[in-house]
Amino acid sequence: RAYDTERSSFNLHAVDLAVSSLPASGFGGFFQVDFGEDADVSASTGTRNDDQVDVQEAYLQYASGSLGIIGGKFATSAGAEVIESPSNTNFSRSLLFRWAIPFTHTGLRATVTPNDKFKVFAGVNNGWDVLRESAAANGGADGKTAELGFSATPIKLLTLAASYHNGPEAGTVERGDRSLLDVVATFNVTDALSLVVNVDRGEQDKATAASTKAKWDGTAVYVNFKLSDEWRLSARTESFNDKDGFRTGTVQKLKETTLTLANTPAKNVELRGEVRRDTSNQEVFTDGGALKKNQSSLALEAIYKF
């Protein structure tokens, strides 16, 4: 689990404050700071991760015509879900969000948007969730991570996004190349029904003391249905295969299924109820000190947007 790790507890997960000035031409900027328990989870290496405060994004932008360039700290391009809960359809985050991809990067990213149906981007950064290279483990400042990707909406029915990351990252003892391929396809079946498929494939060179390569992969499927102007339903099912135990610490195959019912009683308020079931082929879930292969949870979430 990413953020919802405590049992039978009320939690202030996040208060997100953002200031944005991103004109279509010229210089601009974006700044977002997160407060609450979630901030400690997604905080970058090189910052404190125990004070419930994190500068999630802070970057300058220059735009001219179809070209946009940002420099600073920004969210990853990978994944179907994001750090901010209101932008996701479920309360809890997916296995892929927690284990398959990074949260943020610090570096440069250039985006070219020739029209409203296609954009391509490329960038270079310090790596996965690293604010500065000197804070990286097992090798220090040994190189940069490159990213390349695109997003296309060829027809109203389909939006396809893909990104690839490659660069030196920390293994168990030393640094080795880490690569990630992320693909997200969104099918807008009707105005009320959408399907989302997210696929990730990653690997890490020199993952262990024996310099072996570690691999992980996963697939998540979402079904989102608008019941009315106030009610919606979102279902998610996924699997994550940590083939060498590099990402989770255990060689295992994880699966989960989540069902979320959401209500919007007012323009700025959303209430969510969620039931989730996680399973593994290994005993990794705790229950009163005992280990077991499955875990079920119920959650309620209240969101206020201003």
35: nearest Cα among 15, 57, 50: 15
pLDDT category of residue 113 using cuts at 50, 70 and 90:
very high
Would 289 be classed as within a structural domain? yes
Would 9 be classed as within a structural domain? no
pLDDT digits (tens, 9 = 90+) for 75-99: 999 999 999 999 999 999 999 999 9
pLDDT digits (tens, 9 = 90+) for 38-62: 887 877 776 656 678 888 999 999 9
Contact 286, 305 (CB under 8 A): no
State the pTM of this model. Answer: 0.91
Q: What is the pLDDT of residue 142?
A: 61
| Strand (E) or helix (H) holding 38 | helix 37-42
Would 105 be classed as within a structural domain? yes
Contact 256, 97 (CB under 8 A): no
Would 191 be classed as within a structural domain? yes
Tally of domains within the chain: 1
260 has which bridge partners? 234, 274
Contact 134, 141 (CB under 8 A): yes
Would 35 be classed as within a structural domain? yes
112 has which bridge partners? 67, 120
Q: What are phi and psi of 98, to 5 degrees?
A: -80, -40
Would 71 be classed as within a structural domain? yes
Question: How many Å apart are CA 304 and CA 306, to the nearest integer?
Answer: 7
Question: How many Å apart are CA 147 and CA 124, to the nearest integer?
Answer: 6
Q: What is the pLDDT of residue 42?
A: 78
Q: How many percent of the chain have pLDDT more than 90? A: 76
Structural domain including 51 reads 15-304
Amino acid in position 88: N
Q: What are phi and psi of 45, to 5 degrees?
A: -65, 135
Would 7 be classed as within a structural domain? no
In this structure, what CATH number is given to the domain that contains residue 139?
2.40.160.10
